[in-house]
Amino acid sequence: MMKLQYQHVHKAFGEKTVLDGIDLNVGVGGAIALIGASGSGKSTLLRCTNLLEPIDDGAILLDGDDITEPGRDADPIRRRIGMVFQSFNLFPHMNVLSNVTLSPRKVLGKSKAEANDAAMAMLTRFGLADKAGDYPDRLSGGQQQRVAIVRALQMNPEVMLLDEITSALDPELVGEVLNVVRDLRADGMTMIIATHEMSFAREIADTVCFLKNGVIAEQGPPQQIFSAPTHPDTRDFLARVIASGRL
Amino acid sequence: MHGADAEQASAPSRSAPGRRAEFERAQRRRSTLLATASTAVLLGLIIWQVPKLSGWQRVRKSFFDRKTFSDAFDPVLHAFWLDVKIFLVCAPLIILFGMLIALSRSVRSPLLFPLRMAATLYVDIVRGVPIILWLYLIGFGGAGLMNVREVGFGPIKIGTYLFLGGVALVVTYSAYVAEVFRAGIEGVHESQRSGARSLGLSTWHTNRHVVLPQAVRRVIPPLMNDFISLQKDVALVSVLGPIEALRRADVLQDKLFNFTPFVVAAVLFLCVSIPLTRTADYLLAKERRTMSGTAVR
Ligand SMILES: Nc1ncnc2c1ncn2[C@@H]1O[C@H](COP(=O)(O)OP(=O)(O)OP(=O)(O)O)[C@@H](O)[C@H]1O
Ligand SMILES: [Mg+2]
C-alpha cells in the first residue's frame, strides 16, 4: 500500500532545473530520509509535496490520487500533510496555545474548548504544557521546533514532512527534537525527513535517498547507503560529511 | 583567546550581576552629571550672549512680545480648535482609504487587475504632486466646478472651502498611508505565509489571522509619523480661506504689526506634535526591542 508516489516530478525556478525527474514510492508507515548537498532540492521536493510550490511536470499521488492536478484546491490536501520547516515559523504574535489551535479551529471547525483540550494533551505529552501561555520568542529553538511539530500534528496529518528541523539548533537542543520524531516513528507515522544528521537518518529511516542534480542518484536501506554506497557521488558526499565530522 | 572568552562568558558567577549593576549605576551617574553640566554651560552662554547681539531687541519686540502674546493667545487658541477638528475627522478616513488602497494594490486575481492598476496609478499621481498644489486644485477647482456652498447635513457643507480642504487632505494622505500599509503587508516574511498555508489555512484565514495582525503591528510607528505630519499640514487648509490657527495669526499679525501671533500658533502646534513624536519614538523603540530580542548598546 503506497501512501505517496512521485512520478517523474520536474520543477524549475526560471532557467534553473531543481527537480529533474524524481521517482519515489513511500509506503504507509514508511520513513524516508532525504540526504544531499545544500541546494540539491530537498526542501523543494518537500514544498512541492505540500503544494506550496507547483510542479512543472510529472505527478505526486497521495493514496493513489493525483494531488498535483492543475487547478485542484490545495487546502483540503494540505490538511492531510503536515510540514515542519527548517527555520521556525511559529506565529510570533500568538502564544503557543493559539499557534497550535489556530488551524484546528479555523480549518476543522473545532470549538475552542475542544481544540484547547487536544492541544494541551499533546503539549503535555511532549513536555511543553508549562509553555502554553508563552510567546514563541520566549522559547528555546528546541522548544519552538517541538511546538511546530505539535502544531502540525493537531491537524491529524497522514504524512509528516520534516525539513531539516534540527539544522538551525544548537547541538545540545537537537536531541529533544529528535526524540519527538522517534515518538512519531513509533506511532507509525509516515514521514519524509530532509536531514544533515546522518546518524539520525541511519537510525530512523527505512529508506535513504541521495539527491544529486535533481534526481535520486541512489536509494536503499540505510545500512547499504551508509556502509556500501554504490554510486560514486554518494561515496563522495558521505566522505565529505565524514570529513566535516557530521557522521 | 576566543575559547577563554567563551568560557568566561558562560561561567556561572554569582558576583557578576551585582558588580555589573554597581558599575552601571556609576556609569549612569556620571552620564547624568556630564549631560547636566554641558546643558547648563550652553544655556548660560545663550542667556548671557544672545541679548548682547545687536538685532536682539528688535527680534524680541516683534516675535516675543509679552503683551501681544497674551492678547493673541485666546483667538489663536480658539482657531486652533478648528485644526484639531479637521485632524480628528480626516485621520480615520485616511486610515480607512489608505488600507483599502493598499489592499487593492496587493490583489493578485486577474479579474481585479483594473483595480490594482487604478490603485497604483492613484498612488503614483497623488504622491508626485505637492500637497499644497492638491489643495489649490481640489479646493478652488472643486469650488468652481460644484458651484454649491450650503448643501449638506449638519455642520458639514459640501462645497465649502473647509470641506474641500478636508477632501484634499484625505485624498493626498491616503496615498502616503497606503504605501505604509503596503510595506507592512509585504514586510511579513514569506515563511509566515508558508507556515499558515501548510496547515491548510485558506488565503483569507492566512491574511486575517497571520499576515494582517503582524502587518498592523509593524505599521504603527511609521503611521504615527505620517499623522504627525498631518497634524501640521491641516494648517495648509488656510490657503483656501478657513480661519484656523495659522490664518487667524496671519490676520492678527496684519492688525498688530507684530509677528508674535505666529509664535503663539507655533507653540500650540508644538503642544500637540511633541507628545505625538515622543509616543511614536517610544513605540518604534519598543517594536525594535521585541523584534530583535535585546537592544545592543
Ligand atoms: N523560490 C525559489 N526561487 C528561485 N530559486 C529557488 C527557490 N527555492 C529554491 N530555489 C533554488 O533551488 C535549489 C534547491 O533549493 P532547496 O532549498 O530545495 O535545496 P536544499 O537541498 O533544501 O538545500 P539546503 O540543504 O541548503 O536546505 C537552490 O539552488 C535554490 O537556490
Ligand atoms: Mg533545505
CATH number, residue A33: 3.40.50.300
Write the Ramachandran bin of A82: left for phi over 0, alpha for psi from -120 to 50, otherwise beta.
beta
The pLDDT of residue B203: 87
Q: Would you give the distance in Å from CA B127 to the centre of its chain?
A: 17
Beta-carbon separation of A91 and B198 below 8 A: no
Q: Which domain holds residue A41?
A: 2-87+157-243
Residue-wise pLDDT tens digits, B105-138: 877 778 889 999 999 999 999 999 999 999 999 9
Whether A66 is in a domain gets the answer: yes
Q: A-chain residues within 8 Å CB-CB of B210?
A: 91, 102
Reduce the DSSP state of residue A65 to 3 states and report it: strand
More confident residue, B287 or A114: A114
What would the grid cell of residue A210 be?
541521495
Q: A-chain residues within 8 Å CB-CB of B194?
A: 47, 52, 85, 89
Alpha helices in B13-65 (DSSP H): 15-49, 56-63
The pLDDT of residue B290: 61
Whether B30 is in a domain gets the answer: no
Whether A96 is in a domain gets the answer: no
Per the CB < 8 A criterion, the answer to whether B276 and B231 are in contact is yes
Q: Which domain holds residue B251?
A: 82-290
Residue B49: is its pLDDT beyond 60?
A: yes
| Average model confidence (pLDDT) across chain A | 92
Whether B9 is in a domain gets the answer: no
**Residue B7 pLDDT level (bands cut at 50, 70, 90):** very low
The pLDDT of residue B156: 64
Whether B144 is in a domain gets the answer: yes
Q: Is the CB of A221 under 6 A from ligand 1?
A: no
Residue B297: is its pLDDT beyond 50?
A: no
Whether A44 is in a domain gets the answer: yes
Residue-wise pLDDT tens digits, B222-247: 888 899 999 889 888 888 878 888 88
The whole-number average pLDDT for the span A166-194 is: 90
Residue B274: is its pLDDT beyond 80?
A: yes
- Into how many domains does chain A fold? 1
More confident residue, A26 or A197: A26
**Residue B6 pLDDT level (bands cut at 50, 70, 90):** very low
Distance CA(A97)–CA(A102), nearest Å, equals 8
Closest CB from A52, A76, A91 relative to B197: A52
CATH number at residue B272: 1.10.3720.10
The pLDDT of residue B54: 80
Write the Ramachandran bin of A70: left for phi over 0, alpha for psi from -120 to 50, otherwise beta.
beta
More confident residue, B155 or B169: B169
The pLDDT of residue B17: 64
B213 in A contact zone (CB under 8 Å)? yes
What pTM was estimated for this model as a whole?
0.74
Residue A193: is its pLDDT beyond 80?
A: yes
Mutate to test the pocket of ligand 1, among A10, A42, A163 (most ligand atoms within 8 A of CB): A42
Whether B170 is in a domain gets the answer: yes
- Into how many domains does chain B fold? 1
Whether A182 is in a domain gets the answer: yes
Instruction: Give which of B240, B247, B1 is closest to B143, Cα–Cα.
Output: B240
Residue B295: is its pLDDT beyond 70?
A: no
More confident residue, A78 or B161: A78
pLDDT-wise least confident of A22-31, B152-161, B194-203, B257-266: B152-161
Whether B219 is in a domain gets the answer: yes
Whether A151 is in a domain gets the answer: no
